[in-house]
Amino acid sequence: MAALPTVYNYYTAGGITAGLSAAQNYFTLNNKNITLHSGALHYYRVPQQYWRDRLRKMRAAGLNTVETYVPWNLHEPEIGTYDFGNGGSDMQEFLNLETFLKTAQEEDLLAIVRPGPYICAEWEFGGFPSWLLREKDQEVRTSNPSFMKHVTRYFNVLLPILAAFQFTLGGPIISFQVENEYGALKLWPVFDTDKVYLEQLRQLFLKNGIVELLVTSDNAILHGIGGTLTEHFLHVRIHNFLKFIQLIVIFFQTANFADSADEQFDRLNELQPNKPTMAMEFWTGWYDHWGATHNVRSNEQFERVLDSILKYPASVNMYMFHGGTSFGFLNGANQLVSLGDTNFMYAPQTTSYDYDAPLSERGDYTEKYHIAKRLISKYSKVQFKTPEMPKVTPTTAYTNITITEQLRFEQVAELVSEKFNYASPVAMEMLPINNGSGQSYGYIVYKKTGLDIPANSELKISGYVWDSVIVLIDGKLVSKQLTGPHDLNGFGYWRLENGKLNLGGMNRTNATLELVVENWGRNNFGFSYQFKQFKGLWQCDVYINSDVISNWEVMPLQFKRKWTNSLSGWQSPDFSIVGPSLYKATFTVDNPEDTFLDMRAWTKGIVMINGFVLGRYVTPLGPQQTLYLPAPLQNKGVNEIVVFEQFTPSSQITFSEKPIYHTPRDVIKSKM
């Protein structure tokens, strides 16, 4: 019996003369029929050391393609400064795009790349760098010259890298997405799609040597042709000489959906007759928001819809096949509903991007994996060689460790070297730091000294807080602790306009007021995802009683790795302190293994491992209660954990072998 061919053996035998073609009602690759069985994996959400494991698991399930987005905000973290794996940013270990593509090809997978500039992806600002906001009259995802000059510069760096990996040049990339759910803009009354912008993007692809199939993706039923380019061709009917217009779609269209595959595909076939049919995003599960229930999609529904896709027949990209983690401050947010000029429905996403996918956050097989493997085998017309399923990566729960050191917030503030004076509070993006790119992530502190505050005074922050604020007077917390989702409706959080806080019944003289504001994640999708993405206090003034407070000292608290690892002055911990502090503990391992940090005894903050921001925890909100700590982020030997707790700490760090989810009783249900 002849050995089965690999995907590359089969599709490149005899030389490569053509790429992926949609010129007929089925795909061909190098002039051979192909059905794309693809899965989404975001390289920047998975440690590089695990890329091969995850890709091999995908190939073992019978997938022939991997799909990934490319996040602009990671690859150009500062204006004109790029990081593709050696640029020196805190995320550089996740960013070697060339290595990822090479590894995919080595694991016998083709690749679909969605380079942006907008990616959504439940990712901070939909992948846009926050420094775009520094320019006046900025309008992302349009032909706005201010926006397009930055897109052009970035694409002229990124696209040549990707062009070298095209299938027709011997690489893995068979297709590029030009825009992402662009037709969804038409769902918001004040927006519309910009066809000039789409053509500008197309020209950038062409001028940078991209020759593979260009595609777009939208909900075919809701968005129609709103997210793509079209041309009108005049035809003449021979019999009655009546003229009519036929609409020709320039980009190949694909569909995004969770269910109703037949209806989506039937609509696609109406929009682009005699073309192949493909789901660019068949949603295998869903993501979580802080303060909402943990999302799962039943195995039965997953199997039913995937079966209907493959039976249609159609190609599919399962989004996500492996979700991974939004490390650092990189989770995005949704603006779920527009309610005039309110910020009520802002909904930040959790650190975990498990997505209830076929491969879990840490790469474990789930029942959906086995369902996908079985169905792909059932419908595949050509059988290929596949690897054995890799063994499950070991996980452990290390012994609990004790917090040994603390830095109080006033000490932390003294260690911030960049401090600026402003008459009124400003957005973090406008600070003159990071080589003129402003502050992207973390916290920003507004400090005012020398205040006389009478008893029962009222602090008022006009406008909205973006996104939450804690109030300190003389280093002591005077705002309310976060206890549950109901608190999001009160002072200190994004939902309340013109928030007011009683400062207590004591007279204070020569007092110091500090407002510590956190960016919980810029919108990646929704009504205000394009605009109003500034973070901090920037809309209006801050008052005590009727007096405007002016002349602030403003400082960024970014928690970059180099700064965190340089902190000094640590003291013995005092766990009776309620309010923001840094807490440190160490543990030693000879052979690091995957684990989870169980944060249920803590309240709200971030965790850093060896200086790297692992992510946020918000225990009272849920549903996520643990933080995934993969082995590649640990040292062989001594490891240092630093926790920035905003309210009430624990005296220990507890580990778990598995993720833990909990939904508080008063959770506010998602209105998606």
Question: How many other CB atoms are there within 10 angstroms of residue 278's CB atom?
Answer: 26
What's the pLDDT at 185?
82
CATH of 7-286+295-320+372-379, one of 3.40.50.720, 3.20.20.80, 3.30.360.10, 1.10.287.3510: 3.20.20.80
- Within a 13 Å sphere around the CA of 560, how many CA atoms are in the beta-carbon half? 14
Residue 342 has pLDDT above 70, yes or no: no
Residue 266 has pLDDT above 90, yes or no: yes
The active-site residue, picked from 76, 122, 281, 518, is 281
pLDDT digits (tens, 9 = 90+) for 450-466: 999 999 999 999 999 99
| Residue 517 token pair | 């504001």
Confidence class for position 566, pLDDT limits 50, 70, 90: very high
Topology adopted by domain 407-561: Jelly Rolls (2.60.120)
Say which residue, 191 or 184, is predicted with more confidence.
Answer: 184
For all residues of the chain together, what is the average pLDDT?
Answer: 93
Q: Which residue has the tokens 């918001």?
A: 188
569-667 has which CATH code? 2.60.120.260
The SS3 call for residue 361 is coil
Residue 238 has pLDDT above 50, yes or no: no
Q: Establish whether 514 is a catalytic residue.
A: no
Confidence class for position 189, pLDDT limits 50, 70, 90: low
What's the pLDDT at 344?
67
122, 174 Cβ separation under 8 angstroms: no
401, 652 Cβ separation under 8 angstroms: yes
52-61 mean pLDDT: 98
The active-site residue, picked from 76, 122, 181, 518, is 181
| Cα 333 from chain centroid (whole Å) | 8
Residue 528 has pLDDT above 60, yes or no: no
Q: With CA atoms as reference, report the closest residue to 55 among 185, 172, 183.
A: 172
pLDDT digits (tens, 9 = 90+) for 541-559: 999 999 999 999 999 999 9
pLDDT digits (tens, 9 = 90+) for 78-88: 999 999 999 99
572-580 mean pLDDT: 95
What's the pLDDT at 667?
57
Q: Which residue has the tokens 């050509």?
A: 382
Q: Establish whether 139 is a catalytic residue.
A: no
pLDDT digits (tens, 9 = 90+) for 5-44: 999 999 999 999 999 999 999 999 999 999 999 999 999 9
| Residue 136: exposure state from Cβ atoms within 10 A (0-12, 13-18, ≥19) | exposed
Residue 434 has pLDDT above 60, yes or no: yes
Point out the least confidently predicted range of 42-46, 212-216, 535-539.
535-539
Residue 666 has pLDDT above 90, yes or no: no
What's the pLDDT at 242?
40
Q: Where in the chain is the domain with CATH 3.20.20.80?
A: 7-286+295-320+372-379
388-407 mean pLDDT: 97
Order across the sheet with 612-618: list the strands.
Answer: 405-408, 581-589, 637-645, 604-609, 612-618
The SS3 call for residue 627 is strand
- Vertex 664: Cα angle to 662 and 665 (nearest 5): 130
What's the pLDDT at 635?
98
164-189 mean pLDDT: 90
The secondary structure of 37-98 as a DSSP string is EEEEE-GGGS-GGGHHHHHHHHHHTT--EEEEE--HHHHSSBTTB--SSSS-STTGGG--HH
Confidence class for position 518, pLDDT limits 50, 70, 90: very high
**Across the strands, what pairs with 32?**
29
What's the pLDDT at 337?
57
Question: How many other CB atoms are there within 10 angstroms of residue 545's CB atom?
Answer: 12
What's the pLDDT at 74?
98
* Phi and psi, residue 593, nearest 5°: -135, 160
What's the pLDDT at 184?
87
176, 214 Cβ separation under 8 angstroms: yes
* Phi and psi, residue 361, nearest 5°: -50, -40
pLDDT digits (tens, 9 = 90+) for 278-321: 999 999 999 999 999 999 999 999 999 999 999 999 999 999 99
Q: Which residue has the tokens 């959770």?
A: 667
Percent of the chain with pLDDT over 70: 93
Confidence class for position 340, pLDDT limits 50, 70, 90: very low
Q: Where in the chain is the domain with CATH 2.60.120.260?
A: 407-561, 569-667
What's the pLDDT at 527?
61
pLDDT digits (tens, 9 = 90+) for 487-508: 999 999 999 999 999 999 999 9
395-415 mean pLDDT: 97
The amino acid at residue 510 is N
What's the pLDDT at 530?
56
196-204 mean pLDDT: 96
